[in-house]
Amino acid sequence: MPVPYFRLKLEEAEIEAVVGVLRSGWLTSGAECAALEREFAEALGGGVHAIAVNSNTSGMHLALEAAGVGPGDEVIVPDLTFTATAEVVRYLGAEVVFADVLPDTLCIDPGCVRRLLTHRTKAILPVHFGGLGAEIGALQAIASEYNIVIIEDAAHSFPASAAGSAIGKHGSFATVFSFYANKTITTGEGGMIVTSDEAVAQRCRVMRLHGIDRDAFRRFQGDSSTWNYDIIAPGFKYNLPDIAAALGRRQLARAEAMRERRAAIAARYHEKLSSLPLELPPGAPAGDKHAWHLYPVRLTADTPTKRSDLEAALAAAQIGYSVHYTPLHRMSYWRERYGLSDDRFPVATDYFRRCLSLPIFSDMRIDEADEVVSVIRDLLG
């Protein structure tokens, strides 16, 4: 039985919501976008501002810009992440400093962060890897001690919690979520900046749409007082259209149910694979929630095959898989710009040599998970 790495299933209400926007005559950022922002903030428990954008990447760019990051500054980023986490630093002319990750959670290592601090360090950009919370308390202690900001890359992590609070509610300068097509909730392309600081929120709102000081929806809804807008900064075109927001609102309503489904798949993998020579990803600590965006396993010294053999077996059975991620120090641009090598990132390098991400998604059935397990057990058992 073929099993894809990812499969999206939309409900009829989600499709109708998008069709409703198409019929409304207003397609770009408007009432649906504003409603998604309100509902997302409420889903986190309130007390925060939510600013919808067209990607997690653009959201991180806006958050870094709001923090005043620029030439001469350094931002500490985990080596084990997608390139977007690092590239936004370069957009602003600042330099990326790569940190190794913790061997269990694969999130940024606070001890490594502390060793990399300099007088130029402006921000730390941790990733909640795979949907599991980073050690936010330890990172906040460092940030407070050295007067630097934390901008959390939560692309994998809605809905999830860490240290007893929802990710997005830890009081960081900003937290940025992703609504990309294969994320835990989707708008096709999109993201959300969350902050408890009104000034940060207002800067991101202005800069996401060309630096205009007036809302476009109001300007085109017959409010004649809004035609005379001003440009207060050279902004960007990072707004989320209502077509996407309408889908996001209905996905948001199902977010916890979809997380529970992914958690059930993860539990099935744990149950069926625990006797094999594989390292399985850890669950969240008691009282916290894992978003289960990824399920990466690691071959051990006792695994009787190579990763390429496991890849071949899965491919022959038409089962999707992936690798998350090739560490950034192995990517040409980052390696050459900063002179990076494997020995500086022993944990990320070791993980990369042994890892493989198994399919896990909200529409996945238990019998599909069992098919994945069967192929792995046949090879390793």
Contact of 129 with 80, CB cutoff 8 Å: yes
Contact of 73 with 97, CB cutoff 8 Å: no
Contact of 298 with 351, CB cutoff 8 Å: yes
- How many other C-beta atoms are found inside a 10 Å radius of the C-beta of residue 41? 18
Instruction: Please report, as a single letter, which amino acid is at residue 147.
Output: N
Helical (H) or strand (E) element with 150: strand 149-154
Residue with tokens 């600013």: 51
Nearest of 124, 130, 158 to residue 144 by alpha carbon: 124
Give me the half-sphere count of Cα atoms (radius 13 Å) on the Cβ side of residue 293: 26
- How many other C-beta atoms are found inside a 10 Å radius of the C-beta of residue 16? 11
183 in active site: yes
Instruction: Please report, as a single letter, which amino acid is at residue 55.
Output: S
Q: Is the dihedral of CA 26, 249, 132, 353 positive or negative?
A: negative
Sheet containing 278-279, strands listed edge to edge, beginning at the edge strand earlier in sequence? 278-279, 296-299, 355-357
Distance (Å, whole) CA 274 – CA 44: 33
Give me the half-sphere count of Cα atoms (radius 13 Å) on the Cβ side of residue 137: 5
Helical (H) or strand (E) element with 337: helix 332-338
Distance (Å, whole) CA 187 – CA 200: 24
Nearest of 212, 217, 250 to residue 231 by alpha carbon: 212
The one catalytic residue in 183, 272, 289, 306 is: 183
Q: Residues in the chain, how many?
A: 381
| Cβ-based burial of 351 (10 A; exposed 0-12, middle 13-18, buried ≥19) | buried
Parallel, antiparallel, or unpaired: how do β-strands 149-154 and 121-124 relate?
Answer: parallel
Instruction: Please report, as a single letter, which amino acid is at residue 196.
Output: S
Catalytic residues: 183
